[in-house]
Amino acid sequence: MYKIGENPLTLNELWDVAVNKEKVVLEENTKKRIKESRKRIEKIIDEEEAVYGVNTGFGDFSNIRISKEKLKRLQKNLILSHAVGVGDKLEKSIVRAIMLLRINALSIGYSGISLNAVKTLIKMLNDDVCPIIPEKGSVGASGDLAPLAHMVLVMIGEGYAEVDGEILKGKAALKKADIKPHTLLPKEGLALINGTQVMTAIGAVALKRAINLTLISDIVSSITHDALLATDKALDERIHNLRPHTGQIKTAENIRKLFCESEIRDSHRECDDVQDAYSLRAIPQVHGASKDTLRYVKSVLETEFNSVTDNPLIFEDEAISGGNFHGQPVALAMDHAKIAVAELGNISERRINRLVHPAYNKDLPSFLIEKGGINSGLMIPQYVAASLVSENKTLSHPASVDSISTSGGKEDHVSMGTIGARKFKEIVDNVYYIYAIELLNATQALELRKPLKGSKAAREVLSIVREKIEFINNDRWFKQDIENAYNIIKKENFIKNIEKKVGKLDF
C-alpha cells in the first residue's frame, strides 16, 4: 500500500498503483495539511474577499463576482460545462494514474479542497471505479480542464465509469462500490480540474514502457549484431570512456554482456571486415542518447508528480493566482521523448533491412527464407517497420511549438502538452512493434546460422520466442507471428529472464 504524503511519488510507485492496482492511503500529517488549507478557503468566503474561482467566474469571466448562496452551483456548473472531451476513452491504467496524481497534488495542502473530496477520489481509485475520460480536448494550459472534468463528473454522480468491466452511469458506478457522491464545495471543482495530471499521467505510463523498451532494444539488437556477423570491437570500453555520455557507456556495457559466449562471433574473428554499418557499430551511441533523453524526461515528470499545479494557490496569508497549471515543462519533455523513442525505431528498421537484404546479410538467404520465389519470407514485415518509422516521423513533430488563444484571449498561450503526451504514447507502441519485427527476423537469422550457436543471451531469447513462434520454413500468416513477438517483449518478465542469464542490464 502506498502512503500518500510520506515520500515523493516516483515513476515506479505510479506504475504499481496505475497498472498493478496497488492501493493508496493518506498519511496522517497529510490529512492535517488538507484540513488547514480548507479552513483558509472558508475564511476567505466568510470575509467575502474576492478570489478567483472561489467567488468569481472563470477565465474571461473572472471579473464577475458570485453571490455566497450560488457558490456551490458555480462549482457544479464548472464541471458540467467543462466536461466536453471527445474521441476514444483513455485506457484504464492512465485514468488510474490521473486519479493518483490528482490526489497526490491536492494532498500537498495548497489547494483548499476538503478532506472528504480527496477521500472520495481515493475510494474510487482503490475500488477501481474508473471514470470514462475522452482522450482529446485539452490544450494543456489552465491545466487539463476538459479531461479532468470528466473525472470529477463521476465523483458527483454524473458521467460514466467502468467498474468490473462494465460501463455504468456515474451514480450507479459509485453505488456499486458503496461510495457516496460528493457535493462540491466552493473552490473544489476548480481545484480538481485545474492541473497537468492528464498529460503527466499519459506521459508517465508511456515513459515506463519506453524505459523498458530501451533495454529491449539492447537485447534484440544484440541478436541482430550476432546474426549479421558483426564485430565486438566497437563495444570496447576504451572507446566509450573517451566520450562519457552515461547512456552510451551503459548501452555498450549492456551489449557486451548480451554478446558474450557466442560461437558465431568466435567463428569469424579472423575475417577481413574491420568495421560494421552504423546501425550495428553505433548502437551504444544511438541507444544511449535516447536513454539520456528519457532520463531527463523522467526527472521532469517526477518533479511534476509532486507539484501543486492548480490555481489559485492558498497560502497561510493569502490566495495567489499564478501559472503553475501551464503544461510547458511537461510539453517540452514529451516532445523530447517522442524524438528519442522514434530514433530507437529508426535504427531498428535499418537493422531489419540488413537482415533481409541479400547485399547486406552476410550470405543469409534473401528475406530469411530458404525457398525464395515460391515464398516471400520476411519481405513484407520490413515494409511494416518502414511504415511505422515514417508514421513516427510525422508524430514526432513537436506539439509544443503550437499555441491557440482560448478563453476570450485570457489564456493566450497554451502548451498543447496533452497532445504531445498522446503522440509519445503512440510512438512508443509503434516502436514496440518495430522491435517485435526485428526480433522475428533476428531469431530466424540466428537459426539459419546453425550449427553455430549465438550468445548466451541470444540462446535464451530464441528459447522464449520458440515457445510461441515456430521457425519459418514456408510462408504463413506472419501477422500472428508479429503479434506474438510484440506480446513477448511487452511482458515485464522478458527482460528479467534475460538478466538471469547475463546479469543486470542498466538503463
- Cell digits of residue 467: 515457445
Please report which helix (H) or strand (E) contains residue 488, including its range.
helix 478-490
Four-point Cα dihedral 500, 503, 504, 506, nearest 10: -130
Catalytic residue among 2, 52, 160, 432: 52
Within its chain, how far is the Cα of 76 from the centroid?
31
Residue 265: partners with Cβ closer than 8 Å, 6 or more residues away: 226, 231, 232, 259, 455
Residue type for position 418: T
Measure the CA–CA gap between 250 and 397, rounded to whole angstroms: 28
Measure the CA–CA gap between 261 and 82, rounded to whole angstroms: 60
Measure the CA–CA gap between 143 and 324, rounded to whole angstroms: 9
Q: Annotated catalytic, 52? A: yes
- Cell digits of residue 370: 530458404
Sign, CA torsion 244/208/301/421: positive
Within its chain, how far is the Cα of 169 from the centroid?
28
Residue type for position 205: V
Please report which helix (H) or strand (E) contains residue 88, including its range.
strand 86-89
Residues marked active site are found at 52
